[in-house]
Structure 1
Amino acid sequence: MGSIHQSPPVVQHEGLPYFTPANNAGAALEPNDPSTPTLFRPLKIRDLMLKNRIIVAPMCMYSADPNPTSPRVGALTDYHVAHLGHLALKGAGLIFVEATAVQPNGRISPNDSGLWQDGTDSEQFKGLKRVVDFAHSQGAKIGVQLAHAGRKASTVAPWLAAQQGLKSVRADESVGGWPTNVVGPSGGEDQIWAPGIGFWPPRELSTAEVEDVVRSFAKSAELAVKAGCDVLEIHGAHGYLVNQFLSPVTNRRSDKYGGSFENRTRILREIANAIREVIPAGMPLFLRISATEWLENSTVAADLGSWDLRSSQELTKMLPELGIDFLDVSSGGNHREQSIEPHTSYQTDLAAALRKEIHAAGASTLIGAVGFITEAEAARSIVQGADNKQSSEAQEKVKADAILIARQFMREPGWVIKAAKALGVKVTTPMQFGRAL
């Protein structure tokens, strides 16, 4: 009679109050094999090692409590655990929590995520930590994009606007909005993001208030570190507050934060330095920018100039001294006159141009490409050869060091495993899903 062999026990992930196997999906079984695409090779950033180069870009879900008097205002919920946790389960290397406001009036909508409450016993902190802990149990790293919406704040969730046939609707006090406290580097009716009912006119921040914004970024960064986050990103794109300061179109200030390129970039430099002072030396710091506002041929740029690719190239020279390790390259969103002709590589081409500039300067800042990345082969081609440190010829063909995907993950949460199959890469899979993959 044959003997019965007992299977070894499943390893439980430590630190959680419930059982879950310690998964690590999406890692190449043979990462050092020459045939393994760069997309599925590890990426080391300071002390952090990503198992692949596939990053979930921040995606606003507009699903937090909007009640300004509730202790749960701005806190991540079970919805976010399900949404972000599933992407961790399916193999993404790094997952960004949506744009997370450092001040209450920095939210895009009353339903946005926030991280301004004091202490580790706050609902905002506890909500974030739950997401972080679950993602870690599935082998993913977690980042938080720290943000302030500036003049684009206090609007309702987009699906509510869509029900009225509109792109945007103002959020007033009746739905948790803050119409009298929408702020920007400059104020007044001419600084409304778009005319009509969609946005509020901002008021100009005082110099002291700008300095307080800087401190708020640092405070939120400290809380994110305590929650166990692996990466932080400064949101300096898409017409939100930092982007508004960078651009001469939206920054008409006459104090130390306005006027010259040096002054317009001052808030970003101060935020980066303030964050670096409160986070571990080995923790990566990312920055998302709009590489261009797409205003080069607009009437507003003729009068004022704009933030364009040359501005971004100049900015890249500052990044090493600011302790910024990774530049996440997007575009647009700061003025309604923008002229964009989207195509499959319109933003990856911008990423490639900035990466080339960085390498020509002998710097090591990494570049992330985002936008219209939906197919495995396209993703592979963007980063292929980025890990080849010896061949300058190979580097000329590389567009980015990692890719960021947003909407495609909403369509296909299992995109990483699907891409691995398409590229012939054997990767680890979740224990619970193994029979189906």
Structure 2
Amino acid sequence: MTTTTGLLGPLTSPYSLAGLDLRTRFVMAPMTRFRSPGGVPTADVAAYYRRRAESGIGLIVTEGVPVGHRSATHETTVPRMTAGAAEAGWRRVTSEVHEAGGRIAAQLWHLGSEREPVDGYPSWTPATMSTANIDVIVGSFAESARVAVRAGFDAVEIHGAHGYLLDEFLWPRTNRRTDRYGADRAAFPAEVVRAVRAELPQQMPLIVRFSQFKERDYSARIASSPTELASLLTPLVSAGADVLHASQRRFWEPAFDGSPLNLAGWAKEITGLPTITVGSVGLSRTFPVSAQMDRLVAGLTGGEYDLVALGRILLGNPDWVRLADDGRFDEIHDYHKSHEDTYF
């Protein structure tokens, strides 16, 4: 896609993200799809990501990809980041995206207590992880990072949001430990960041996704103030994070009282790193899409954040960026009626 200067203005301009050149400021957010039997991405998965790369997305972030340890997930149709067949499947995905001129990041994931029972782990009652188990999981993230590099990914994202394992350490409601991992809630996530960073080429961006809300608690907050948020984000930056992906339900809502900054804005204010904002872009019935675009552009030009992630709107409409830039909002909403075969 050739960048344009329509309604989306600077959002469609090129950007260098921690040294990675992107065609536009738009990011495809990670969205679980359950279309990889046996944890292996198929040719259809590659085609799905290629369609989004062809349609104006600067950076694609894959669906959450469980790391290799068997405790990471109970799902059998979610793609893994492991050597062998899964790695070969991902290599086909990255090749297709690159042929379309796009860039793609692998999101590494461990479900934590959201996981259902799996072989070797017959039940899952939340309990304190031993330090030995923490070391094993850190190693699993590192190994999956090595696989992602071999598979041709342009960046890696660590999933530290939404109530999954790393976020369970960041959130005081779930982190009740009395050791150093309780005294410093960011210690374990920072160890994962450090281990993954060590496996990546120096020029490859490492993104960390975090959130306030959880999948089962939209009112949850890991931080009640900018100061508390700084205590959680600063260790991740020191460990090697290059980019922060701040997930909130509605991007236009302020993160804290007394300031209009959203969560990505505060992450950038605190750390100075480039940030990605995400949250209901193009979806709200109470906030017209054209007004959302005005808010997004204002936040971008004002330095609040650097990129904008699109989620569910891209599932049925990979052409969203082009149509929105032209102001063709009726076509955006009607797209699925004539393109049912391109949903996935």
Normalised to the residue count of structure 2, the TM-score between the two structures is 0.81
Equivalent residue in structure 2 for 1:248, among 163, 172, 176? 172
**Is the 2:47–2:96 contact (alpha carbons within 8 Å) kept by the matching residues of 1?**
no
* Aligned 8 A contact 1:285 1:326 in 2: yes
* In the alignment, structure 1 residue 275 sits paired with structure 2 residue 196: yes
1:343 Cα offset (Å): 5.7
Rate the CA distance shift 1:372–1:357 in 2: closer, same or farther, 3 A.
closer
Task: Find the partner of 2:113 among 125, 128, 151.
Answer: 151
Mapped to 1, the partners of 2:260 and 2:51 lie a distance apart of: 28
- TM superposition shift of 1:308: 2.3
Deviation at residue 367 of structure 1 after TM alignment: 1.7
Given that residues 214 and 274 in structure 1 are in contact (C-alpha distance below 8 angstroms), is that contact kept between their aligned partners in structure 2?
Answer: yes
Q: Check conservation: 2:209, 2:247, Cα contact below 8 A.
A: yes
- For 1:354-388, what per-residue CA distance to the aligned partner results, in whole angstroms no more than 9, with x for missing partners? 45545555x431121111101365245324463x6
Distance 1:51 1:151 in 2: 38
2:261 aligns with one of 332, 352, 361 = 352
Residue 18 of structure 2 is aligned to residue 28 of structure 1: no
Q: Indicate the residue corresponding to 1:201 in structure 2.
A: 125
Match of 1:62 in 2: 34
Q: Percent identity?
A: 29
The CA distance in 1 between the partners of 2:260 and 2:57, in whole Å, is: 21
Equivalent position to 1:324, from 234, 238, 241:
241
Counterparts of 1:265 and 1:216, CA distance in 2: 18
Give, in whole Å, the separation in 1 of the partners of 2:27 and 2:217. Answer: 30
Q: What do residues 24-72 of structure 1 show as CA deviations (whole Å, max 9, x unaligned)?
A: x2x4167xx9x9822011121222011101111111011222xxxxxxx
| 1:338-349 matched pairs, under 5 angstroms | 345-346=252-253
- Aligned with residue 318 of structure 2, among 392, 409, 413: 413
CA deviation vs aligned residue, 1:237-259 (integer Å, no higher than 9, x gap): 1110000111221122233322x
* Cα pair distance change 1:385/1:246, threshold 3 Å: closer
Distance in 1, Cα, partners of 2:180 & 2:166: 15
For residues 235 and 312 of structure 1, the distance between their equivalents in structure 2, rounded to whole angstroms, comes to 17
Q: Counterparts in 2 of 1:121-200, with a 5 A limit?
A: 122-154=84-116, 177-178=118-119, 180-181=121-122, 200=124
Query: 8 Å contact 1:107–1:114 — kept in the other structure?
Result: no
Which amino acid is the alignment partner of residue 189 of structure 2?
A: L
Structure 2 equivalent of residue 364 of structure 1: 272
SS at match of 2:106: strand
- Taking a change above 3 Å as real, the CA distance of residues 40 and 351 of structure 1, as seen in their structure-2 partners, is farther
Gaps of 5+ in 1: 1-24, 66-72, 155-171, 183-199, 332-341, 389-393, 424-437
Q: Which amino acid aligns with 2:151?
A: A
* Superposition RMSD in Å: 3.1
2:309 equivalent in structure 1 = 404
Quickly say closer, same or farther: Cα 1:132–1:252, change in 2 above 3 A. Answer: same
Q: Distance in 2 between matches of 1:295 and 1:126?
A: 34
Distance 1:294 1:235, change over 3 A: closer
The answer as to whether partners of 1:59 and 1:98 remain within 8 angstroms in 2 is yes
Contact kept in structure 1, 2:264 and 2:276, CA below 8 Å: no
Query: Within 2, Cα distance between the matches of 1:348 and 1:256?
Result: 28
Task: Decide which structure has the larger Cα Rg and report it.
Answer: 1
* Paired residue type of 1:365: L
Which structure dedicates a bigger proportion of its chain to helix? 2
Seen in structure 2, the aligned counterparts of structure 1 residues 283 and 89 have a Cα distance that, compared at 3 Å, is: same
Q: Which moved more, 1:349-358 or 1:41-50?
A: 349-358
Cα distance in 2 for partners of 1:330, 1:211 equals 27
Q: What TM-score do the two structures reach when normalised by structure 1?
A: 0.65
Change in 2 beyond 3 A, CA 1:314/1:295: farther
Call closer, same or farther: CA 1:124–1:237 in 2, change over 3 Å. Answer: same
Query: What do the CA deviations read for 1:124-181 (whole angstroms, capped 9, x no partner)?
Result: 1001110000000001101111010011113xxxxxxxxxxxxxxxxx6xxxx44835
Deviation, 1:405, is 1.1
Task: State the distance in 1 between where 2:72 and 2:8 align.
Answer: 42
Matching of residue 210 in structure 1 with residue 175 in structure 2: no
Please name the residue that 1:99 is paired with: 64
Question: What do the CA deviations read for 1:99-119 (whole angstroms, capped 9, x no partner)?
Answer: 0111232125222221134xx
Task: Name stretches of at least 5 consecutive residues in structure 2 with no aligned partner.
Answer: 283-288, 329-344
CA–CA distance in 1 between the matches of 2:313 and 2:181?
A: 38
Moved more, 218-227 or 288-297: 288-297
Maintained 8 Å contact 2:3/2:56: no
Taking structure 1 as reference, are residues 290 and 360 closer, same or farther at Cα in structure 2, changes over 3 Å only? closer
